[in-house]
């Protein structure tokens, strides 16, 4: 292919971005997509030299065609610009592409932009620089650390707990947080307390107050309130006998400043609380907003890069925001000085906070372009950003103390004097209710009562709450939060119930084992140290080799000790039971697999009887005959739902439960039976599977459709419907 010395080639990750960049850069530029990572460590071996700790990369099998196309296209250009995302991962992608495409006479440059807009892309192309090898080394160090932990420790889990399990440098520490929270909930002992509340009246003004002090000591909240009914009743009697008057009315105004703009973790937490969006959905929608939508015939990014832990805002964006506020609400709603925020310790400052690329694109204007979910998330980002440059909110707070005898009650009220920034983002400003205008002097006691309450343990983590905790403890980075949680769910280490993460039996056993054998490696503090070490590599203060060695040294020592204790650990995972095998009469053993605990015959391999632990051994008779021996089948319930088991202990045949409806497929003689999907969801399919693949999610009804004649109907929440013609049947 002839070399074009006049044109320049840009390599970017996604085709959607490629189309946008082509429009922005215009003539003289061609743009091609790499479709993300093109090289990585090999899939079927560790890929890290145990002596030098150097990685051995290979082209990903699914990317070989893309790499071949890239090489062919790149051979026609003298100048190639690499434009992956502006973070460590993006820098590494650029470096891998460079290593694959480098050739005689080709010049490579790196361009970075924090938003996909015409101005940002053109400015970035004009300021093209070299690949930042410190960032590349930081990404490589993370990747190699994760590979070493996963490939060295996961096989140990296979030999002790069960095949298919995995350990992860950050994943296991995140799981540890979930398991330890669950253990704390399980061991929590509720503490009884009796908060005392009184209703007072001053000249017709009724207000409620809570007991604040009694006999000179604090008497409020779960720590200081009366601890039992007898103490509470004694206080109530004394309160009823006392004379009451207001001894203090303290009024003052307080200013509240707006919170910083969104970073990755705070966006995920806010979207979960306000929009009920899981972090994975939030990031998917944010990615769409970043890559852009068509506006006036041109695809334009609507927000800045969404994987960041920096609250910094570029000065031009601050000025544009302040000009917008002045134009829309006037200078009285503007903060006196430009408000800038300081990042927390350990935050990378590679790029800005998450903000709209153009503050003039209000949510009202974007409502014509975005669907409801994209609009809701964009509105949150826009409102939070605009609020940062608005005036403080002012709240008037009144605190009243009511004294009588040995008791002091306190009432407090708030009202908004100046809403300030909250006219844009009301969710930021929450105030307690007002109390009436009161003055020092006598009051009448109208009612006093004490309510029995109990302290509660900390709640289980939601996905967003776990992200927040990981951010707080410096575990993981913005680009890894979602993938860590996804891995925990995929490995069945945790379950999501009522939007809370609950560790499974396997997750708990795995965590306890790993902490026992590798206490230093899976310590929260050590994991945070590794993140700080990677930051030092990214800033050029540490080398790749120093970082990986600092992790590998304790890993190798712990693994050597763990292998020495392997027989002991394997033996500890098996427990004898008093139950006998129903097939051969030998004792049953309690064992562990990746599916949880189960019972197995001690006579293995001579006897292969197994049963999930906790399975309902009580069985009901059924009219179904065993397909193997012809004897009656018993209806049982196991960890995966109902099933049929042969009544003959010698015959180990099991069958799914029929629902009394014939398969509707013409000429099929099968019956519909209950089955469970991979995600443990009940569905119904033909008993002759795989010869017949008919299946349905809703429960079948043995009745022909009176409209279209389909041989069965189905139950839905809103009634009975025909699965063929979709009509509701009375």
Please give the distance of CA 454 from its chain centroid, rounded to a whole number: 30
Neighbour count for residue 6 (Cβ, 10 Å): 9
Asked, as a colleague might, if the bond just before 690 is cis with ω within 30 of 0, I would say yes
Say how many residues make up the chain. 730
Question: Closest Cα partner for 6 from 58, 82, 77?
Answer: 77
The two beta strands, 453-454 and 494-497, are unpaired
Q: Is 624 exposed, middle or buried (0-12, 13-18, 19+ CB in 10 A)?
A: middle
In eight-state DSSP terms, residue 38 is: -
CA 686 – CA 711 distance, rounded (Å): 14
Report the 10 Å Cβ neighbour count for 644: 24
Q: Which helix (H) or strand (E) holds 493?
A: none
Confirm if 644 and 636 have CB atoms less than 8 A apart. yes
The whole-angstrom separation of Cα 505 and Cα 592 is 9
The tally of CA atoms less than 13 A away on the side-chain side of residue 103 is 14
Burial of 314 (C-beta count, 10 Å sphere; 0-12/13-18/19+) = middle
Specify whether 544 is catalytic: no
**Eight-class DSSP state of 350:** S
Residue 303, token pair as written in the block:
């927000």
**Of the listed 156, 214, 305, 643, which one is catalytic?**
305
Angle 314-320-321 from CA coordinates, rounded to 5°: 90
Report CA 644 to chain centroid distance, whole Å: 38
CA 295 to chain centre: 32
What is the C-alpha to C-alpha distance for residues 370 and 380, in angstroms, rounded to an integer?
14
Residue numbers annotated as active site: 305
């Amino acid at each position: 292919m002839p070399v074009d010395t006049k044109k320049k080639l840009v390599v970017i990750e996604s085709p959607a971005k490629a189309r946008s960049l082509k429009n922005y850069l215009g003539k003289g530029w061609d743009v091609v997509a790499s479709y993300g990572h093109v090289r990585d460590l090999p899939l079927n071996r560790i890929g890290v030299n145990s002596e030098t700790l150097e990685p051995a990369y290979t082209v990903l099998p699914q990317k070989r065609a893309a790499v071949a196309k890239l090489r062919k296209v790149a051979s026609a250009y003298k100048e190639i610009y690499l434009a992956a995302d502006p973070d460590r991962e993006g820098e590494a992608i650029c470096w891998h592409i460079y290593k694959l495409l480098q050739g005689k006479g080709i010049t490579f440059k790196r361009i970075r932009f924090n938003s996909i807009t015409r101005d940002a892309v053109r400015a970035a192309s004009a300021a093209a620089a070299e690949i930042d090898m410190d960032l590349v080394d930081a990404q490589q160090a993370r990747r190699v650390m994760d590979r070493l932990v996963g490939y060295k420790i996961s096989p140990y889990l296979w030999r002790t707990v069960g095949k298919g399990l995995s350990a992860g440098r950050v994943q296991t520490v995140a799981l540890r947080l979930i398991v330890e929270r669950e253990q704390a909930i399980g061991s929590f002992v509720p503490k009884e307390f009796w908060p005392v509340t009184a209703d007072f009246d001053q000249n017709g003004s009724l207000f409620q107050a809570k007991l604040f002090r009694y006999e000179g000591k604090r008497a409020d909240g779960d720590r200081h309130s009366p601890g039992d009914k007898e103490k509470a009743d004694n206080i109530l009697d004394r309160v009823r006998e006392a004379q009451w008057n207001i001894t203090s009315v303290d009024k003052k105004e307080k200013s509240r400043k707006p919170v910083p703009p969104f970073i990755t973790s705070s966006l995920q937490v806010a979207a979960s609380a306000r929009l009920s969006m899981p972090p994975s959905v939030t990031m998917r929608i944010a990615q769409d907003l970043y890559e852009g939508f068509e506006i006036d015939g041109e695809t334009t990014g609507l927000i800045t890069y969404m994987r960041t832990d920096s609250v910094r805002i570029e000065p031009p964006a601050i000025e544009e925001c302040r000009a917008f506020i002045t134009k829309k609400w006037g200078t009285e709603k503007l903060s006196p000085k430009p408000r800038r925020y300081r990042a927390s310790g350990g935050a990378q400052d590679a790029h800005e906070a998450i903000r709209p690329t153009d503050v003039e694109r209000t949510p009202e204007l974007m409502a014509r372009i975005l669907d409801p979910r994209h609009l809701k998330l964009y509105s949150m980002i826009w409102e939070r950003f605009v609020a940062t440059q608005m005036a403080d909110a002012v709240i008037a707070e009144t605190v009243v103390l009511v004294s009588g005898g040995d008791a002091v009650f306190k009432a407090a009220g708030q009202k908004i004097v100046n809403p300030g920034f909250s006219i844009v983002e009301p969710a930021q400003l929450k105030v307690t209710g007002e109390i009436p205008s009161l003055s020092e002097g006598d009051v009448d006691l109208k009612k006093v009562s004490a309510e029995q309450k109990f302290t509660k343990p900390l709640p289980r983590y939601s996905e967003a709450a776990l992200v927040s905790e990981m951010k707080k403890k410096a575990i993981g980075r913005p680009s890894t939060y979602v993938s860590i949680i996804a891995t925990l769910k995929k490995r069945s280490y945790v379950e999501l119930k009522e939007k809370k993460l609950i560790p499974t039996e396997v997750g708990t056993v795995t965590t306890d084992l790993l902490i026992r054998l590798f206490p230093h490696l899976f310590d929260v503090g050590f994991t945070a140290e590794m993140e700080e070490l990677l930051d030092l590599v990214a800033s050029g203060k540490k080398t790749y080799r120093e970082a990986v060695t600092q992790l590998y040294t304790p890993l190798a020592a712990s693994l050597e000790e763990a292998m020495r204790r392997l027989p002991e650990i394997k033996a500890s995972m098996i427990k004898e039971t008093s139950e006998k095998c129903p097939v051969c009469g030998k004792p049953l053993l309690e064992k562990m697999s990746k599916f949880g605990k189960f019972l197995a015959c001690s006579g293995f391999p001579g006897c292969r009887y197994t049963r999930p632990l906790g399975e309902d051994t009580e069985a009901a008779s059924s009219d179904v005959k065993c397909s193997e021996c012809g004897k009656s089948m018993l209806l049982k319930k196991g960890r995966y739902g109902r099933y049929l088991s042969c009544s003959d202990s010698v015959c180990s045949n099991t069958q799914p439960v029929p629902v009394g409806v014939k398969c509707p497929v013409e000429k099929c003689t099968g019956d519909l039976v209950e089955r469970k999907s991979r995600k443990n969801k009940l569905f119904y399919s033909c008993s002759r599977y795989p010869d017949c693949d008919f299946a349905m999610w809703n429960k079948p009804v043995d009745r022909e459709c009176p409209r279209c004649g389909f041989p069965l109907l189905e139950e839905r929440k809103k009634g009975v419907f025909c699965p063929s013609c979709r009509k509701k049947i009375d």
